[in-house]
Amino acid sequence: MRQTYYKGQWEVWDDGGSGTWLYAKKVDSMTWIFIEIDDMVDSCGRDATELFYAAVKVVDLAQIPTDTMAKASQCCGHDGAVSLEEMAYSCQAYGAYAPMYSESSGAVTEENRWGNAGEAHPAFRSLRKRAREAAEELFDDEVREAALNDRVVNKLGSTARQFMHGDLWGRLREIRDDPDATEDQKLMLKMYANAGITLGGEPVPKDLKEMGDGNTIGEDEELST
């Protein structure tokens, strides 16, 4: 039986032994909410600028494409049927989730630079509390659904729901047809149109490729995603 955190509401799926703490709450038959906290010194060494990073994620298996779930399961080492719980874990690890909250905390000092900080550190405890409070707001179905639709999570303008769907092409089509699209968004559309393929090898749809001009992105065209 797993340990629990905060009044038994959260199951502890990872206890920090690998530099990551992962807490999970099942809110309906297909939906899990995760709190993930990473030890940034453990992850980044001397490049770390803060001790801890927290993220709140929603995984709704009813909304994630089956091919994405298959890739997530394979990447996590599964080669056969898995439980819904295992699939939810695989999807959040793979990146098929809705990002709902993130925050970093804790100053890196010479005393704690090499992993002397941990779960007892005040920065960890206060960060985990804030992340938990943000996550627990999403227990309410209406609040969660509104947040999935309204929360913009990147400079493409993708909503949290679109991010979980992995709906890159749908979002790029919205940018194509939006007279108020930002310059960064237009540049992203141009980049995909001219490349013709994603880093993962997926071909760009024909209607989006037609938006390209055949030119590569110049060094003076800085893109932030």
With pLDDT > 90 as the criterion, what percentage of the chain qualifies? 56
pLDDT band of residue 80 (cuts 50, 70, 90) is confident
Instruction: Please state the rounded mean pLDDT for residues 32-42.
Output: 95
Task: Say if residues 51 and 106 touch (Cβ distance below 8 Å).
Answer: yes
Task: Say if residues 106 and 27 touch (Cβ distance below 8 Å).
Answer: no
Give dist(CA 15, CA 129) in Å, integer. Answer: 16
Q: Indicate if the pLDDT at residue 225 is higher than 50.
A: no
Q: Indicate if the pLDDT at residue 179 is higher than 70.
A: yes
84-94 and 66-75 helices cross at what angle (nearest 10)?
80
Give pLDDT, residue 218. Answer: 43
Give pLDDT, residue 219. Answer: 38
For the whole model, what pTM was predicted? 0.84
Task: Say if residues 171 and 94 touch (Cβ distance below 8 Å).
Answer: no
Q: Can you tell me whether residue 38 is helix, strand or coil? A: strand
Give pLDDT, residue 116. Answer: 62
Instruction: Please state the rounded mean pLDDT for residues 8-32.
Output: 96
pLDDT band of residue 65 (cuts 50, 70, 90) is very high
Give per-residue pLDDT as tens, 181-223. Answer: 999 898 888 888 888 887 767 788 888 888 777 655 443 344 3
Give per-residue pLDDT as tens, 96-152. Answer: 999 999 999 998 887 777 766 688 899 999 999 999 999 999 999 999 999 999 999
Higher pLDDT, 44 or 83: 83
Q: Indicate if the pLDDT at residue 55 is higher than 60.
A: yes
Give pLDDT, residue 115. Answer: 62
Rounded to 5°, the CA angle 131-24-124 comes to: 35
Task: Say if residues 11 and 34 touch (Cβ distance below 8 Å).
Answer: no
At position 225, the amino acid (one-letter code) is: T
* Helical segments of 58-215, H only: 66-75, 84-94, 122-137, 141-150, 160-165, 168-176, 183-195, 206-209
